[in-house]
Amino acid sequence: MPQQLRVLQSLRAMERRLADEPERPLQTRIAMIRDAGFDGCGVRFIDPTFATASPR
């Protein structure tokens, strides 16, 4: 199988971190990554329950 280059966007880099603006919902950030043409998102889940939860 030939090698493939996959380009991922860090989900953490999509956080706003502004005191006067709320964070975007997770589904919105994922949609933005998809719509920008990335192959996926790089994530690191510490909470196993959150990582396996179904989208709301």
Over residues 6-34, mean pLDDT: 91
Predicted pLDDT of residue 46: 80
Give the C-alpha distances (Å, rounded to integers) separating 47 from 2, 16, 50, 51, 52.
Answer: 34, 21, 5, 6, 9
Predicted pLDDT of residue 55: 62
Residue 9's DSSP bridge partners are 41
Q: Is 25 helix (H, G, I), strand (E, B) or coil?
A: coil
Rounded to 5 degrees, what are φ and ψ at 9?
Answer: -105, 130
* pTM > 0.75: no
Over residues 11-32, mean pLDDT: 90
Map out the domains of the chain as residue ranges.
Answer: 8-52
> Which of the four pLDDT bands, split at 50, 70 and 90, describes residue 54?
low
DSSP codes joined into one string, 2-55: ------EEESGGG----TTSPPPPHHHHHHHHHHTT-SEEE---S-HHHHHPPP
